[in-house]
Structure 1
Amino acid sequence: MKDIFDKCDFGEFKLKSRIIRTGLWESQNRQHGYLKPEVFLRYERLSKNNVGLIITELISLYPHDKFSDYSHSINYPLFMKDFKYLTDICHESDVPVFAQVAFANCNVNGKQMIGVNDLTLEDIRQIQSDYIIAARSLSFAGFDGIQLNIGNNYFLSKVIDAKENRRSDKYGGSLGNRLRMVIELIQAIKKITPLHVNCRFNVNPHDEEESLEIARLLEKYGADSLQLTKPSSPQFFSKDCKEENILFDITDRISGEVDVPVILGGGLSDMKSINDLINKSEISFVSMQRPFVYNPTFLSEWKKNGEGASLCSKCNNCYWKKTSTCHMVAEE
């Protein structure tokens, strides 16, 4: 039987558990130009307490993006120094760490708020070049992988979405064409860096075949692992949600039909439910975000006790207020 605390393979990595910590926002990002001590402490506590893999909070590709006030920036001057220290903290506990990179607003080549259908070939090449430069910086900073967030409501998710993308050139039309920009990016990153490439993408519960084809194409053209999510995640998984099985079912199917690791994107917060799921399905890896905001050490408590449930109430204040801190804890 599978257990969340199995030592297991995730591509080229050996993980201490099947739980993936996914980041979201980072409100304590900088003070006087440096990462605040709270950030380093958070990663130290995560890496020392039985997490399998850490995926960072959002690292914005562009400094004046919609979410730049609530995220790290790949362009800030001390990025390399600070994040090398951060990755060293994780590696001291033998925990791999991926950098989540995305942007929401497309402002390139002197133009502002460019829509998917208005991108020129020059704009596409600039975006790809910016990602590649970022990937090299991440590699030099000691990251083990990069998570291309091409899901949720970030810009590249719109490039993939047939409702958003109405282009008539080779970057529009068929699913393969809508994925072309991302596929070219994956191939370039893998050619010039040693980074593991993870792709986080939206699944369509109304079209499982398209979701499955996205997974197959990403795997075919070089993605080393996948994380499944929804545009509205994480608030999609509220404490009263009755539709969590929508994401579970498609993740189960994709996990059984591709040969790269697949991460379920959220929805579970107790040890029994996770163990039940991974033993009755093809799912082997589960990501969590809000429980780690509430208590970054809870996995060690679960492992020690052989059971446990997060005390996170799923109030989503950490999401809506764009912070990396739990307001329920602060009020106690």
Structure 2
Amino acid sequence: MKDIFDECRFRDLTLKSRIVRTGLWESQKEMGNLSPEIFLRYERLAKNHVGLIVTELISLYAHDRFSDYSHSINNPKFIKEFKYLAEITHENDVPIFAQLGFVNCNVNGKQNVDVNDLTLEDIRQIQSDYIVAAKKISFAGFDGIQIAMGNNYYFSKLIDLKENRRHDDYGGNTFKRLKMILEIIKVIKDTTDLHINCRVNASDDVLEIAKLLEKYGADSLQITKPSSPQYFRKDSKDKNILFEITDEIAGSVNIPVILGGGLSDINSINDLINSTAIEFVSMQRPFVFNPTFLSEWKNGSEVESLCRTCNNCYWKKTSTCHIIAEEE
């Protein structure tokens, strides 16, 4: 029987549990730098049985839609401060990935460039920016990088057949729509030791996307929901389509696949990992509510997250729980 607190392999890494903490926004910053509250939160996460930590969003470009709520890869103190962050998690034998992405494409003096208007020069600039960022992440001592190509990030539009209407080498079939990202993955693999995780939407062609990412060097995948609509279908068994698709992908590739949310109690997660090919589950909001809840699950004092899924931590773009703040 598998258990969420099994020590297990995650490609080239060893995890202390099957639970992945996924980041979102960062509100606790001081003049763009990491605050003591941030370091404390990561220390609490690492000490309380999380298997893998993925940071809050690190923005590739200034003036991005979410840059006010995220770290910047171009902060002069990035390597120094994030090196300390990685050291905190490593002291507790927990690997850490840097989530890197952008929504608005601001390159070569142009703002909000649509995927269909990218020139070859723009594509090479984005690739160069991503590779330089990956090297900074590597210098900071991180174990891996998460390429944000799901939800509503820019790369999700690049690989979406409905969004990408290009007629060159970067548009058309699934391989061509992925080509820019596959080229980035190759260079990162050739120049760093980073584990490459790709966060991908559960789209109609996600199985083909997953197989291509594996073939061209991705070390793991996280399957997540498109921003809209909610990926849930009511049928006689009330099954969640995200679970079904993630299960299918996990059974079709030979790299770890993470279910991107949807469960928040120990029994349901253990049932899932024992009845499907899914072996890893990510969470975000339960950790905002209580970064130590996995210790309470492990000692049996709780079996379900007390997070109310009010989504205020998402809508208000913070890394703090507003319910707790109001009660205090």
TM-score normalized by the length of structure 1: 0.95
Aligned residue in 2 for 1:157: 156
Q: Is the 8 A contact 2:106 2:112 kept in 1?
A: yes
> Residue type of the partner of 2:227?
S
Aligned residue in 2 for 1:39: 38
Deviations 1:258-287 (A, max 9, x none): 000000000000000000111110100000
Q: Is the 8 A contact 1:198 1:223 kept in 2?
A: yes
* Among 159, 184, 209, the residue aligned to 1:214: 209
Q: Is the 8 A contact 1:237 1:244 kept in 2?
A: no
Moved more, 297-306 or 314-323: 297-306
Aligned residue in 2 for 1:314: 309
* Structure 2: gaps of 5 or more residues: none
* Secondary structure of the corresponding residue to residue 99 of structure 1: strand
Deviations 1:28-70 (A, max 9, x none): 1x31453111100010000000000000000000111110000
In the alignment, is residue 117 of structure 1 matched against residue 135 of structure 2? Answer: no
Q: Is the 8 A contact 2:32 2:71 kept in 1?
A: no
Aligned residue in 1 for 2:177: 178
* Secondary structure of the corresponding residue to residue 33 of structure 2: coil
1-structure distance, mates of 2:31, 2:211:
45
How much has 1:111 moved relative to structure 2?
A: 0.7
> Residue type of the partner of 1:160?
I
> Residue type of the partner of 1:194?
D
How much has 1:237 moved relative to structure 2?
A: 8.1
Matches within 5 A, 1:1-332: 1-28=1-28, 30-32=29-31, 34-204=33-203, 207=204, 210-232=205-227, 236=230, 245-305=240-300, 308-332=303-327
Q: Taking structure 1 as reference, are residues 33 and 202 closer, same or farther at Cα in structure 2, changes over 3 Å only? A: closer
The number of residue pairs the alignment matches comes to 324
1-structure distance, mates of 2:145, 2:57:
11
Q: Is the 8 A contact 2:231 2:241 kept in 1?
A: no
2-structure distance, mates of 1:161, 1:67:
21
Q: Is the 8 A contact 2:231 2:240 kept in 1?
A: no
> Residue type of the partner of 2:132?
I
Q: Is the 8 A contact 1:105 1:113 kept in 2?
A: yes
2-structure distance, mates of 1:243, 1:68:
37
TM-score normalized by the length of structure 2: 0.96
* Structure 1: gaps of 5 or more residues: none
How much has 1:243 moved relative to structure 2?
A: 6.4
The RMSD of aligned alpha carbons is: 1.6
How much has 1:20 moved relative to structure 2?
A: 0.2
How much has 1:230 moved relative to structure 2?
A: 1.4
> Residue type of the partner of 1:220?
K
How much has 1:306 moved relative to structure 2?
A: 7.3
Deviations 1:266-314 (A, max 9, x none): 0000000000111110100000000000000000010011751000001
Tell me the percent identity.
Answer: 70
2-structure distance, mates of 1:243, 1:156:
31
Q: Taking structure 1 as reference, are residues 186 and 120 closer, same or farther at Cα in structure 2, changes over 3 Å only? A: same
